[in-house]
Structures are given as structure tokens and as C-alpha cells.
Chains A and B, each alone.
Chain A
Amino acid sequence: FYLTPPQVNSILKANEYSFKVPEFDGKNVSSVLGFDSNQLPANAPIEDRRSAATCLQTRGMLLGVFDGHAGCACAQAVSERLFYYIAVSLLPHETLLEIENAVESGRALLPILQWHKHPNDYFSKEASKLYFNSLRTYWQELIDLNSGETTDVREALINAFKRLDNDISLEAQVGDPNSFLNYLVLRVAFSGATACVAHVDGVDLHIANTGDSRAMLGVQEEDGSWSAVNLSYDHNAQNEHEVERVKMEHPKSEEKSLVKQDRLLGLLMPFRAFGDVKFKWSIELQKRVIESGPDQLNDNEYTKFIPPNYHTPPYLTAEPEVIHHKLRPQDKFLVLATDGLWETMHRQDVARIVGEYLTGVHHQEPIAVGGYKVTLGQMHGLLTERRARISSVFEDQNAATHLIRHAVGNNEFGTVDHERLSKMLSLPEELARMYRDDITIIVVQFNSHVIGAYQNEE
């Protein structure tokens, strides 16, 4: 069984999406040129999610990747909801009031986000009312709390993450009279998701990370070479600080059982996540909710199973670690990706492959005959060769797709091996997960000119 190159391409390109920030009067005022994103499933259905949106009431753009586990429900919910929580957290008091008044009087709402979605990125229609009510409660509280201070992005991100996780937990405890929704909120709460979110506004780049997805900055050195700068820390057993943190939060008696086989309580790889109430609720609460819940939940062995050595919950938090970075002209792009990519590729290779892809256009100098003696046949051969080269470089119109092609198809020499690519992509569903994880990538390209101009202003 062998996939032809066009078949490989159609699989790789099925989920690719590109967005270019529109130019105004020929002058691009955004520090972001645009982004490419793509997903390659290994699970069926895929458990990764991605989101991208432009904030309409404040400045800036939000991008995020979400890696679900124990199902995709939580990742789906977070991908739909988190950016609204962030956007609301960033809104000034007056705008919040305006929005609340509009809802109160049934007027049209100010649009808060402009989404940039692939057709396959869906939003749950059924839950939108429920989600909206939770969000509204949140902004009502913000209005009541009116601190009068300008909103700090770092704080806004942390608050939004925590609040959403809290709402997910509460909605599951309260339940919903509609049986479909009731089951949905429980599935969301009992599954889990990591999140890695970027907020870009001018030269201010904030990364909020919960879990083991990763943000990486591609930097072009003066000699033209590419290097990678991490903008997030993985929250897993490999991160000493993270292990330390978990141990600090629980009694010394549990020290040995907290992290086993590099997993939290011997079960969970990421040390921070949304949902996963099994690691957050008390045993009584878990039992009560499951018993009063629908049969499907009761029949599910996973949800009923209480982690061993479960004494002092919560063991898990959704609180993100936020890193602020001031963009410089040499910062050319940002890669957000779930662990599916980072398991197969070193960040240094990622920086090089994306960097060369994005600048590849400029490597083809135009030909000039000048004073040389060139025959028509020679020229024809040269042009044919150039075309062939261009078409291999530009087989992908999308940096994320290009990266996935390398992640899946790279051989020992670091070049894409079509045979290997074909084999990996034609694995049957049940085997695919053994060889690779879901991969989700967003590549954000920055506008060095705009960033340079910002710098000069400061």
C-alpha cells in the first residue's frame, strides 16, 4: 500500500489554514503579517484543537493550541471559550458596562472577537447559551469589582485561564436540565486539555502556557542563520521546578506517590491542565456527581476510577505560566505547537526549517544573461531546473504544513523521505497513535518593519 505524492498532499493539506492581516493604505500597521496553521490527526477523532482571533475591542491578536486527553470535549470547550475570557479580562470598565447594557436591553452586542477559523474548526451550537451565561456572570463580577486600574495583560491571562477552569468545574457540578448539555458539561469536566496561548499587541508578546504544549520564537541571527528561543516551560515531570511546585503543595507524606513513572499520581503526563476534575475534586464530590449523572458516565470505567493515593486534592491547576517578550526586528516568527511536534523534532530544527521556508522566496535570484554566451537550450535547461526546485520548496503554501511534512517524513538526514511520509500517513487508525501523536501547529509571522518602527519610537 503506497500513497502517491498528490494523495500525501491532500492528507497533509486537509486542515491547513492561512490568514494574512489585511493591509491598510499599503501600510501594514500590525506587527503580525499573518499566520499559517495546520493539524494532522493521530487519534480518531483528533483531540487537539486550535484557535485564532483578533481582539476587536482592544488591540492585539490571540492564538492558541490545545491538546486534549481522555477525549476531545475539554479541548473543544477551551478552544471555543478561552479567548472570550481573555478578551473580557482585557476590556476596560466602560466597554464592559456598554456590553452589559446592550445585553440587558436586548440590543446588538459589540463584537468582541473576529475569529480566523478553518471550516473544520467548529463551535458547539447547543452549548453556546450556557457558555454565554457563564461568561456574562464573569464580566458582571468584573464590573462589580471595578478596580479602576488599567488591565495588565499578564494578570488578565491568568485570571481568564483560572476563571474558565472554574466555570467548567461549576457547570459540571450544577448540571443542566437538558440531558444532552448535562452530558456535555460532564464530559468537558472529566476530560482534560492543555493550552498554550499567545497574545500579540505591537511589540508585546505574552505567552500563557498550561501543560506541555510549547511556544518557540524563531530568531534570525546577523549571519542569516536561525536559532530558537523558548517562550514557555513544559509543565511535566521533566521540569524540575514544576515537580518542586507540586511537591510544595502537598504534605511530605505524599512525596513519593505524587510523581510516578514521570506522571502525576502515576497517571497524568501534563502537570497543569483544564478540566480533569478527577485530579481536582474531592472523592465525595466526584462520586456524587457521577452517581447523579447520566448512565453513560456511570458506565465509563475511566471516570469512575479514583486515582490512587488521592488524599489532598486538588493536584492539578489550570493556572498558566506567563512569559512576556518584547519583540525585536530579528524575531521573525513564533511557533505554537502541541507536544506531537516537539516529540519528533528538536526546536533548533523547527527554527531552521520554518525560517528557510519563509525566506525561501528570496533565495532565487533572477537570471540575467548579461554578456554571457548562453544558448536557448542551456537557458531552457536552467529554467526547467529552477522550476523543479521552486516547486519542491513551494509544494507547501503553508509553513505549518511544511513543518508537519518534515515532522512526519524526515529521515536520518533531516530531509523529507517520501516513502516514509507515505507509510506514516497510511497507518490504520488504530496503529497511528502508536507511532505519532496528534500534531497541531500555528506559525505566526512577524512584520520586522513595523517592529523596527515601534522600537525607534521608544
Chain B
Amino acid sequence: AAGMFLRLLSDLQWRAAHPRWRRMTGSQRSTSTTAEPHPISLPAQAQVVICGGGIMGTSVAYHLSKMGWKDIVLLEQGRLAAGTTRFCAGIVSTARPVSIELKMAHYSNKLYQQLEQETGVQTGYMKTGSISLAQTQDRLISLKRIASSLNVMGIPCEIISPKKVVQLHPMINIHDLVGAMYVPEDALVSSANVSLALATAASRNGVQIHERTSVSHVTVQKGRVTGVETDRGRIQCEYFVNCAGQWAYELGHSGEEPVHIPLHACEHFYLLTHPLEKPLSSSLPTIVDPDGRIYIRNWQGGILSGGFEKNPKPLFTEGRNQLEIQNLQEDWDHFGPLLSALLRRMPGLETLQIMQLVNCPESFTPDMRCIMGESPTAQGYFVLAGMNSAGISYGGGAGKYLAEWMVNGYPSENVWPLDLKRFGTLQSSRTFLRHRVMEVMPLMCDLKVPRWDFQTGRQLRTSPLYDRLDAQGARWMEKHGFERVKYFVPPGNDLLDLDHSKTFYKPDWFDIVGAEVKCCKEAVCVIDMSSFTKFEISSTGDQALESLQYLFSNDLDVPVGHVVHTGMLNEKGGYENDCSIARLSKRSFFMISPTDQQVHCWAWLKKRLPDDSNLIMEDVTWKYTALNLIGPRAVDVLSELSYAPMTAEHFPSLFCKEMSVGYANGIRVMSITHTGEPGFVLYIPIEYALHVYNEVMNMGQKYGIRNAGYYALRSLRIEKFFAFWGQDLDAFTTPMECGREFQVKLEKGMQFLGQEALLEQKQNGVYKRFTMFILEDHDTDMDLWPWWGEPIFRNGRYVGKTTSSAYSYTLERHVCLGFVHHFDEKTGEELVVTTDFINQGEYEIDIAGQRFQAKAKLYPFSSLFTQRRRKDEVELSGYQRE
């Protein structure tokens, strides 16, 4: 048994290492599971209590203790590394499509490599390399994209021919392969021993480790963690870290104030064999065959092979806690298709003898990315879980980032894609999670083309106009549970085909979106933008204004009725949020943020707003339907519907007013469109939504009105060089770095968050610069399309990555947005990026290994602006993350 084997191995290490906790728990390590008395009682208090002795918990303890925090207690309900970690296949693979995940895996690899030397615990680390196989051209494209990002990070990686695959691994059948990606530095480890090594080091640094201790719940008072209740008594603490793996959800829900950690376990199977007649070399590279849904590594002279089947088996939906994961049932019938794939890939294994089929549950999350960060409701409650079966690859890096987060207040990289606060309570339904993880697990191997969407757990949050839009051919995508229109399929088009078109090249909707964009430019379009997060902040006195002036970088002390685009910055001047704030009255503000800011922004403001009962913040997202009227004729439609003049003289840009539209009164009209085009957004109390929509569509008919979707919006905003938070902007980007100095009022007469950092930047210059690239020699019909994350080269040298891209129907060219850095040619040190540096370079964008010439611009094409505006009124902002 693999489990048994690993356990025996770890016993061996256990004795060899003489760790401190052995004496503390006093438990003789043996295969018997009878509980023994705990001679060492738990401390009454500690700074940090970590729950979970798997790879995550031990990695957090390791890094915290390295950063100087010593007063740490780690609690494990069973034995160290006895959960998923024990069963983990032990493959450390850096080939990850998401940049932050790639960085975590890269760091983990480096950490594990030196861990044995550092701790004296054998980790079984072996640099074998890995080969990812492509059975189709599309798969090869996706591998090439990953290879591009690995290369610019300095991680060796190459695209190889099938012939080369055989040279590296002679047992592989290559007749159906078109190519492969070779990452020579990927490694294998014994995951349980890595975990034990981390624990050993942490223990030497003073971390107390207690096994056979269960946390029953965490106590929270006034929104702060105060302690944990265990089956062995209470520990007072300031910080709690939930690393309970697949039990993290339950543990999060056990307290009075639930912490929603959306993850769900699925059974995961892998096969262990006896050694081959001529035992396999332990240095043979690991094979990943995503089209066959399997991975294969050498193991004890035989192989270990598992995979991600199409029909996963979710488990513990009702929550079934148990001390350790007992050996779950092997299910050969279920494993059958994967076994077929294995024998197809390595036909020579036919006669190899089976040792065991291991069933090891893994936890999966709703968006395939892991969960880390602080709870939005309980300060000091941190989470690290939901590794989507890549726990060993992420373990080191994830533990490091979380430790930095706790010690410094923020991690050293942008971890928003992994932040717990990207989820809300809405992703916490067990039914939702069960259905979603059944889609997520097969997705681990599925080909992911640009702009793919999840199919399960849909139609949860919808606009009141959903059915109306759907009946008119709307095609939907989902953001934070909210259904948003991508585009409208005109009647007569083959709908089925459109829905199933999966391509890295020009998509089928190209002309459809083109027509919508054209209508935005020449007539008027309606886009339902109800998903945006909307808060109202008001006070009896000046508290609201004063607090907001401190929390936002732009000057909010504007006349009533004005709309201000502003960043919500952190101490380092980085964007925590990018929003539009309308001053409704002297003492109340209406704030619009990106859809997925609902939890993050709320938590950020709650934490920083003064505790004053006269200052009220309310989430009114659900109260309003938002219709964006984009285009030169929006003015005409609205003035006819309201009998009010809407021209620029009467209703200037960046203005907000409550007015009547049709029969409905109290419609909040704002002269912004989030695209740079003329038009208005109407915030409509939901019961008027259908009425106003009907009126607008009826009245708009003579002006050529039509429905449009987010794809049109994206094309418009990107060609106007609008950055969106979450896509282009993050907590590590300041307004100075993206040409938004005009949205910062350094001299507004009072201090604001991030001011110092910005002042310093203003003086010293910026180290990266948001730049717009127009692809020059790119053939829209024939070439691969950019997506985001493509490396940017300046004079042949890597300077940064793109963050978003779109086809501009106006320029008839692709536009990419991204950040340009200036790395010193010799030392690699980051230097100040000047306008000259940007302007004097020859640029290329690397799309899946192919480079296209690009022209860099720091300012949008002025000719695109058809409307005359005053310079300070130019709406240079947008929010929505795609």
C-alpha cells in the first residue's frame, strides 16, 4: 500500500530526525491508531494557531517561524501529513497557466530541493523533469503559451518533437502525438516527508506541534479572532490559520460567525504497480498526457499513474468528519478509462503487476484556483486550502505568501486570483459546490481556450431582464455568480455552432461583436451592467466625506451631482479597487465597483471606516438594474424619454442626476459609459427595470438601437486604453504607473491612504508603465489571437506581460495592454521606466512562441474621440475585470 509505504518511510524519518514534538506529544509513533494520553498539555495562549498538519499547515508554520514569529501552535487532528498529503502523488510541476500559481510552484521546487540539507529529513527529492504531451494542435498551442511564460521567468522549458519524447522516455508510444513540452527541472518528492521536514524545521524554530488534537471551532469577538476551542481545551490566539484541507469548509462553518471557504472534495484515483522486470530508473521524467487525462511517474521501479476522469465522484457533500482519511474503496470500473489511456500511452506495461489502486480525496474550488487570505468577516482568520490536487506543487509558495500576508499585512506578489475574498457566501452552497467541482475536476485536463466559461452553477444571480435578453439571443458568461451577456446572436445564425466554437484563433462571434461595436460608434446600444457592485455611504454629518477622502485618492469634495473616478489605494499606493463615486448629496455617496469587488471592497472599507453609528454603508447591488446606453444617439433617446435636455451643456460628462425615464421616476442617470464613448448609465430600481428597458428599446428604434454585450464593451474600452481592475490593475499597480496621475489629488488638502508612496513615485519615477500595443504584422484571420499573459519584448529583451487584449474594430488591428518594466541588462535589477524608454523601443508580443511586431503607445488615439470634451473631463477609467 502506498499509504502504508509512505507511513513506514515517514516513521523511519521520524526516528532519524529526533524532532522536538516527539517529546511534546509523547506519542510513540506506531501503526496502531489507539489514542494515547497527551502528557504535554496545550498552551493557554499563543499568537498563532494553525489547524492542519498537512503540507499547507506545516509550510505556513515553517515560513512564519522563518520570518521571526515564534509563538505558534500547530494542531493536527490525526497525525502529521496523514491526510491528502500522505496520499499525494508527489509531483512538483511548474507548468501552470496562471502566473501566480507558476511562481508558487517555482518557489516550492527551489524550497524542496534544499530542504533535506536544511533539515536532515530525507524528502525523496529527485529532479526528473516532466513532459506534457499534446495529441492535438490546439493542445500544443496551449503548451506553447505556458512555455512562453516559463521561459521569461528563467525556468528552462522547451517544446520538443515526439521523437525527442522517446529519447527522454523510451516507453512512450508517440504515434498519436504532435509535440510535447519538456520542463527539465520539475521534480518528484515524497510529499509526506516534505511535510515532516517542514514541521521539523518549524519545530526547531520554536513552533509547538500537537497531534491528535481537533479544533472544534474558532471564537470571534467584535470581528476579531480571540481563540480556538479544541477537544483538549481552549487556546487564546490573535491569528488562526485554517489549513484543514477538505475539512476547511466544515471548520469554517463551525463557529458562530461562519467563514465561507468554498471547496468540495472529490475522489481521486491513482494506480501503483510492482517494479518492472528491469526496474524503471528513478530519474525518468514524469509524463503528463492531458488529452488522455492521465499522469505517469516512476515509483519504486514501477509506476504511479492517476488522472482526472470525465465523471468525477464528489464526496463528503453532507460533511463527514473523520480522524484520518480511511482507505476509501478502490473503484476499478471507474478507473477503467484511465487505465485504457495509460496502456495506450505505455503499451509495454501490459504485463506489469498491480500493487494497489489508491483512492485519495482531493479538494477542488469553484474556479480551479486555490484559496488563501484573510476572512472578510473575521480579522486574524486566515485560510490556505483548496489546492485542486496541486498541493505539493503549491505548498511551499502558498505557505510563503500567506506567512508574508500575516506578518507584513500583504504578500510580496499579487495574489488576488487566489484571494478568499474573490468568493462570497453565494459560492458556499453545498449543492453549488458539488455540481461545480464535478465540472472543475475534468477541467484540470480539458483544453482551455480564450474566454471559456463554467457551465455548472449558472443562472444564480440574474438581472430582472434576463429572460427578455435571453429571448433576444443573448449568450451568457458568469462573473461572481452573475449572468452577463457576451453578445447577442442575431436570428438565423447557427446557435449551436457558436456555443461550441473553441479556438485559439479568430472566434465565430467576430462579426457579431463587430456589428455591436459599430452600433455603439454610430447609433446607440444597450448593455445590461447590473452585475457591478454598488454601495451607498452616507452619514449625518461630514463623516462620510472625511472618511472617503482618506480612503480614496481623488478629491471627493466636489459639487453634488458630480461623478469622480478614483482608486481605492493601499499604503503602497496600489489599487485595492478602482471605482466611480457619485456625490448624491452633501452627505451621501454612491459607489460603483467591479462585480467581484463585492466582498473585498466591503471588507476593506468596513475595516477602515470609523466605528460610528452615524456613518452608514449599505450594499445596494441588488437594488438597482444598470443599463448602459452607449453611442452618439443615447442623448436623443434619453431626452425624448425624459423630456429633459441631455446635451453636454445641460448634462455634462461625469455628472449624475435622478430623473424620470418613461413613467418611472427616481432613475439615477450618470453620464459615464465605462468605454470612453458618449452615453449614459441608468441605475434603475429593479421594479422599474422592465419598464425602462421597454421604453428605451421602443424609443430607440428610430435611432437604430440594439442590444450589445460585454465583448463589444471590452473591445471599446481596450482600444481607448482603459484599464480594468482585476484584469490590468491590481494591488501592486499605482495610478502613476498607468497614466492616471490626474485621478490623484496629492494636494487635496488632507492626507489619504497611499499618498506617501505616490509622492515618492512622483519624485523618483515608476518601475513599470502601463502601455498600449498595436499589433502590426498580425493577420486577424490566420494568426493566433492574443489573450492575456503574453510576454512583451523590447529590442528583443523581455520587459513584461500583457494583461488584456482585444480586436479593435476601429483600428482594424489587435490591441494589447500590458506593463513594461526596465530590467538592467547585466544585473536584472529593475530601473525607472521613462517615457523615452517606452517610446524608443522596438516591441514584439509573443503569442504561443510566435512574435509579432507591436507599436507602443502611452496615450490613446485622440482621433478616436469624436466628442469634444474638456481635458479634465476626459473619462479615463473603467472597471470591469473580464
Contact = CB atoms under 8 A, between A and B. Distances in A.
B351 interface: yes
Given A369-B354, A369-B357, A376 B332 contact: no
A373 interface: yes
B241 interface: no
B353 interface: yes
A368 B331 CA distance: 8
Interface string A355-384: 000000000101111000111110110111
Contacts of B329: 366
Contact of B354 (A364, A379, A384): A379
A382 B332 CA distance: 10
Interface string B347-361: 001111110110000
A375 B354 contact: yes
Contacts of A311: none
Contacts of A380: 336, 339-340, 343, 350
A386 interface: yes
A381 to B, nearest CB: 10
B520 to A, nearest CB: 43
Interface in A292-343: none
Nearest to B356: A369
A187 B639 CA distance: 64
Contact of B350 (A375, A386, A387): A375
Interface string B225-263: 000000000000000000000000000000000000000
B342 interface: yes
Given A366-B332, A369-B357, A376-B273, A383 B339 contact: yes
Given A375-B351, A376-B342, A377-B350, A383 B333 contact: yes
B330 interface: yes
A374 B273 CA distance: 10
Contacts of B273: 376
Given A376-B273, A379-B339, A380-B343, A367 B353 contact: no
B336 to A, nearest CB: 4
A366 B340 CA distance: 18
A367 B351 contact: no
Interface size class of B (residues with CB under 8 A): 20 to 34
Contacts of A369: 330, 332, 354, 356-357
A387 B354 contact: no
Nearest to B347: A377
Given A366-B329, A369-B330, A369-B357, A383 B350 contact: no
A375 B330 CA distance: 16
Contacts of B333: 364, 366-367, 383, 386-387
A379 B336 CA distance: 9
Contacts of B354: 369, 374-376, 379
A380 to B, nearest CB: 5
Contacts of B357: 369
Contacts of B349: 376-377
A29 to B, nearest CB: 20
Question: Which of A375, A382, A384 neighbours the largest number of chain B CB atoms within 10 Å of its CB?
Answer: A375
A386 B357 CA distance: 18
Contacts of B331: 366
Contacts of B336: 380, 383-384, 386-387
Contacts of A383: 332-333, 335-336, 339
Contacts of B356: 369
Contact of A377 (B330, B332, B343): B343
Interface string A86-106: 000000000000000000000
Interface string B555-592: 00000000000000000000000000000000000000
Interface in B304-340: 329-333, 335-336, 339-340
Contacts of A367: 332-333
A374 B274 CA distance: 10
A376 B330 contact: no
A364 B343 CA distance: 24
A371 to B, nearest CB: 11
Nearest to B329: A366
Question: Which of B271, B336, B349 neighbours the largest number of chain A CB atoms within 10 Å of its CB?
Answer: B336
Question: Which of B331, B354, B356 neighbours the largest number of chain A CB atoms within 10 Å of its CB?
Answer: B354
Question: Which of A366, A369, A376, A386 neighbours the largest number of chain B CB atoms within 10 Å of its CB?
Answer: A376
Nearest to B274: A373
Interface in A133-153: none
Contacts of B330: 366, 368-369
A307 B131 CA distance: 86
B332 A373 contact: no
B253 to A, nearest CB: 20
A374 B353 contact: yes
A407 to B, nearest CB: 31
B791 to A, nearest CB: 42
A377 B353 contact: no
A371 B342 CA distance: 22
B332 A379 contact: yes
A364 B336 CA distance: 15
Question: Which of A367, A382, A387 neighbours the largest number of chain B CB atoms within 10 Å of its CB?
Answer: A367
A379 B342 CA distance: 12
B351 A377 contact: yes
B316 to A, nearest CB: 16
A54 B331 CA distance: 39
Contacts of A384: 336, 340
Nearest to B273: A376
Given A383-B339, A387-B336, 9 more contacts: A376-B353, A377-B349, A377-B350, A379-B354, A380-B339, A382-B332, A383-B332, A384-B336, A386-B333
Question: Which 9 residue pairs are nearest across A and B when measured between Cβ atoms?
Answer: A377-B350, A383-B336, A367-B332, A374-B354, A375-B351, A376-B352, A376-B349, A369-B354, A380-B339
20 contacts: A364-B333, A366-B332, A366-B333, A367-B333, A368-B330, A369-B354, A369-B357, A373-B353, A374-B353, A375-B351, A376-B273, A376-B342, A376-B349, A376-B353, A377-B343, A377-B350, A379-B339, A383-B332, A383-B335, A387-B333
